[in-house]
Amino acid sequence: SSSRVLPPKHDVFISFRGIDVRDTFLSHLNSFLKHQKKFAVYKDDLDLERGEDISLSLLEAIERSAVYIVIFSPNYADSPWCLDELVKILQCGERYGRRVIPVFYGGVDPSHVENQTGSYRKLPAVETVGRIRSWRTALTKSAAISGFSSQVTRYGLHNLSRFFHNPESNLIGLLL
């Protein structure tokens, strides 16, 4: 079945685990993107209870975003919500040719994500093996995408800015 591709509504969609980054890196990143770069940023600020399914409005926000930033923090893989977001982000990235930028934060190394070691060893228990398999595949794929580690927020934002150019424009310009 073919579906109509809707134009992006958001320049950037940020996937994150709130307890790890909300009051630290995320607030700086959001400010940087919105105020310095003038981008329309979508970040979901709701804390969902364990086991809640990803909402249709959030799936649509992912579909309608031009670029995805995924912040892999120590507790990211504890959340079925975050992992479902990641699967959808990678599907949209592949389907529409959109850029996915992984950020490895809080001591998380790309190898932890790729090999599901460290805080990424134990994924949440869910009812379907297929869902867990899709999470593992998405984690492995995203670790292989060129991104950056953020040891210090200011350094991390400086590194991230190389992915964007033309600060006066509201269009995403990606330097590959």
99-105, strands of its sheet edge to edge: 41-43, 10-15, 65-72, 99-105, 148-150
Hey, which residues does 148 pair with through a beta bridge?
A: 103
Residue listed under structure tokens 């927020």? 153
Catalytic site includes residue 60: no
Task: Give one DSSP letter per residue of 90-113, joined into a string.
Answer: HHHHHHHT-EEEEEEETT--HHHH
Task: Catalytic residue, from 49, 52, 60, 85: name it.
Answer: 85
Annotated catalytic residues are 85
